[in-house]
Chain A
């Protein structure tokens, strides 16, 4: 990971999900028998629902930056 250019303090990056394996299984299960296009739509809806739940623009911006950071290399 490169140095984050956004304030990462707002975003929880330590483990925060009580049963990580259970969650991961459910997340993958969510996409069972969906086409790629349907999966993309479900993911987009999930992001929007979670983003609204979080609400805090600093947290959202930090999460967006973290998600993109090592995809496009050094930002």
Chain B
């Protein structure tokens, strides 16, 4: 590749080869996006964590390139949102063409007043490099490169691993094993665990090209364009003047042949014109699958990311959902490890993220059925929708070139306390906190002031000093974040200068929202009562 050289991380000989077997609280298999996010989150919480990876570099090729607003918000809490947002290319507009003509365009995030954009495009290798850099800053986090997990023995009270290195094999034991070893998950295979779903009979060519162009940073999707008839094409801008072109090829295409530059170049010339100057950076031919494990928790093994669930790339629901898996899991694991919550809290990781995976798979399957119609009549309806979309707004809602990743609203979660009062808006129990501009001690955004632990967002000075101290005490502390009022030492006070916190939360004087450590709403009230808050925290922690 012209624009990027993969780093090589140093292999180190394991001390266990010459000494006693080590026992770890948490071992993570796989230093990809999901494993690294989980490792950083755990280490930030002071939990020692060991990451094992069978390779010694970041992603080879750009692979996952669209990182969602929610991913950036999670990374902000982990101290690496800013470098990734700065390096990435932000975008918010999607355009859908049929043939040569624009069928319609949409804004992914139609409102302002959010810190992070709807998406940034960034090559996966940069994304992983930022995470590795952050990981190296954390003293309780160790990554072992070219240490391959070659055996897993799960027991009731621990997991025993065999690790293979160039210097020989060694054993490790751990309380909890986070399996983040990707779509082909060697650990899942070793244990013979299920992975059920659907394989789609279609092939796609990804070509990353280096090209100076003044195309705007938008997602452009063509159905049946003149330069690639009867198939679809997707175009994304990445940093370093790299562009991602994704050509639908059909099931009969020969993957080996289609990877050859001699085959790729004419396709690109047809699209970009005879005079366009570009070089191919990286190319790959892929098929895809929508499938998931039946359960993401198997005793002391917790599966996250692609090892647990796979979707088509249309909608950017792969890496983004994996990052949300880690975000959901880690605070629960910390509470269990510290003995502040029962082990069954981890079953809510399973139920919440299985529900999220099902939503992602449903969206991804529907998009795939629209992009790759499976019958003549399905194709006819698809073309009818696209044709109507040019004139009629209703049909634009039916066009499906991928429903872009938004976080799952965990409305069925057993951790939620049901509403006892009515609220307007979308901040229902289970929803991720909506951001809004504020002035506060931790930054200019509401989300800078939420997360990590439990937070009680209150509208007005309704929690007295005694109650605030009571909430801050105990094994599971809850911080008070107050909207409006004068600064107090026992809470965070933010100024809702644009009125958007009140608007987005239907906040009236006295309204309270309880947020989990992953910034999801888990309870809300129209008036503060300390006992209700304690009960909701107990419920949200499996007690």
**Which residues of A come within 8 Å of B, CB atoms?**
37, 40-41, 44-45, 47-49, 52
B388–A49 touching, CB < 8 Å: yes
Structural contact, B394 and A44, CB atoms closer than 8 A: no
Report the minimum CB–CB distance from B519 to chain A (whole Å): 33
B106 within 8 A of A: no
Measured CA separation A41–B385 after assembly (Å): 10
B25 contacts the other chain (CB 8 A)? no
Q: Give which listed residue, A40, A41, A47, A52, contacts B394 with CB less than 8 A.
A: A52
Of B383, B384, B388, B398, most A-chain CB atoms within 10 Å: B384
Interface assignment of B502: CB less than 8 Å from any CB of chain A: no
Chain B residues positioned under 8 Å from A41 (CB to CB):
380, 383-384, 387
Chain A contacts for B251, CB-based, 8 A: none
The 7 closest A-B pairs by CB, nearest first: A44-B384, A52-B394, A45-B384, A40-B380, A44-B380, A44-B381, A48-B384
Asked if B380 and A48 sit within 8 Å, CB to CB, the answer is: no
Among A37, A40, A48, the residue within 8 A (CB) of B388 is: A48
> B364-389: contact bitstring with A at CB < 8 Å (1 yes, 0 no)?
00000000000011001101110110
* Between-chain CB contacts (< 8 Å), 20 pairs: A37-B380, A40-B376, A40-B377, A40-B380, A41-B380, A41-B384, A44-B377, A44-B380, A44-B381, A45-B387, A47-B381, A47-B384, A48-B384, A48-B385, A48-B388, A49-B388, A49-B392, A52-B392, A52-B394, A52-B395
Within 8 A of A (CB), among B390-429: 392, 394-395, 398
Inter-chain contact total with CB atoms closer than 8 Å: 29
Task: For A55, give the chain B residue with the smallest CB separation.
Answer: B394
Chain B nearest CB from A59 CB (Å) reads: 16
Closest to A42 in B: B384
Q: How far is the CB of A43 from chain B (nearest CB, A)?
A: 8
User: Which residues of chain A are within 8 angstroms of B398 by Cβ–Cβ distance?
Assistant: 48
- Count residues of B near A (Cβ-Cβ below 8 Å): 13
Mark out the residues of chain B between 450 and 489 whose CB falls within 8 Å of any chain A CB in the assembled complex: none
Bound: A48/B382 CA distance, A: 11
From 182 to 236 in chain B, residues with beta carbon under 8 angstroms from any chain A beta carbon are none
B377 touches A48 (CB 8 A): no
Inter-chain contacts of B387 with A (CB < 8 A): 41, 45
Q: List 14 other contacts, CB 8 Å, given A41-B380, A52-B392.
A: A37-B380, A40-B376, A40-B380, A41-B384, A44-B377, A44-B381, A44-B383, A44-B384, A45-B388, A47-B384, A48-B384, A48-B395, A49-B392, A52-B395
**Inside 8 A of B380's CB, which chain A residues have their CB?**
37, 40-41, 44
Residues of B within 8 A of A52 (CB): 392, 394-395
Q: How far is the CA of A41 from the CA of B388 in the complex (A)?
A: 11
Q: In the complex, what's the smallest C-beta–C-beta distance from A71 to chain B, in angstroms?
A: 13
Q: What separation, in Å, do the CA atoms of A1 and B457 have in the docked complex?
A: 59
Determine the chain A residues whose CB is within 8 A of the CB of B395 once the complex forms: 48, 52
In the assembly, what is the distance between CA of A49 and CA of B381, in Å? 12
Residue in A closest to B394 when the chains form the complex, CB atoms: A52
For A37, list chain B residues within 8 Å (CB): 380
B384 to chain A: closest residue by CB: A44
A44 to B398, CA, bound (A): 13
For the complex, give the distance between the alpha carbons of A37 and B380 in Å.
Answer: 8
Q: Within the assembled complex, what's the spacing in Å between the Cα atoms of A48 and B392?
A: 11
* Closest chain B residue, CB of each to CB of A39: B380
Kindly identify, within residues 486 to 512 of chain B, every residue whose CB is under 8 Å from any CB belonging to chain A. none
| Cα–Cα, bound, A75→B364 (Å) | 29
A47 to B380, CA, bound (A): 12
A40 to B373, CA, bound (A): 15
- A residues near B377, Cβ cutoff 8 Å: 40, 44
A45 contacts which chain B residues (CB < 8 A)? Answer: 384, 387-388
Shortest B370–chain A CB gap in Å is 13
With CB as the reference atom, state the residue of chain A lying closest to B383: A41
Docked complex Cα distance between A45 and B392 (Å): 11
Q: Once the chains are docked, how many angstroms separate the CA of A37 from the CA of B377?
A: 10
**Alpha-carbon separation in the docked complex, A49 to B398 (Å):** 12
Closest Cβ–Cβ distance, residue B224 to chain A (whole Å): 13
Rounded to whole angstroms, the CA-CA distance of A41 and B386 in the bound complex is 11
CB distance from A56 to the nearest CB of B (A): 14
Q: Which residues of chain B are within 8 angstroms of A49 by Cβ–Cβ distance?
A: 388, 392
Bound CA–CA A53/B397 (angstroms): 14
Closest Cβ–Cβ distance, residue B526 to chain A (whole Å): 33
Residue ID in chain B nearest A44 by CB atoms: B384
**A-chain residues with CB within 8 Å of residue B381 when the two chains form the complex:** 44, 47-48
CA separation between A41 and B378, bound complex, in Å?
11
A46 to chain B: closest residue by CB: B384
**Residues of the A chain whose Cβ atoms lie less than 8 Å from the Cβ of B384:** 41, 44-45, 47-48
Minimal beta-carbon separation of A57 from chain B (angstroms) = 14
Docked complex Cα distance between A44 and B377 (Å): 9
For A44, list chain B residues within 8 Å (CB). 377, 380-381, 383-384
Query: How far does the alpha carbon of A49 sit from the alpha carbon of B388 in the complex, in Å?
Result: 8
A47 and B385 alpha carbons, distance in the complex (Å) = 10
Residues on A with C-beta less than 8 A from B388 are 45, 48-49
Once bound together, how far apart are the Cα atoms of A45 and B383, in whole Å? 9
Compute how far the CA of A68 lies from the CA of B387 in the bound complex, rounded to whole angstroms.
25
A37 to B383, CA, bound (A): 11
What is the bound-complex CA distance between A52 and B397, given in angstroms?
A: 11
Nearest A residue (CB) for B398? A48
Cα A40 to Cα B392 with chains together (Å): 19
Complex Cα–Cα for A61 and B100 (A): 35
- By a CB distance below 8 angstroms, the chain B residues around A40 are 376-377, 380
Q: Which residues on the B side are within 8 Å of A48 (C-beta)?
A: 381, 384-385, 388, 395, 398
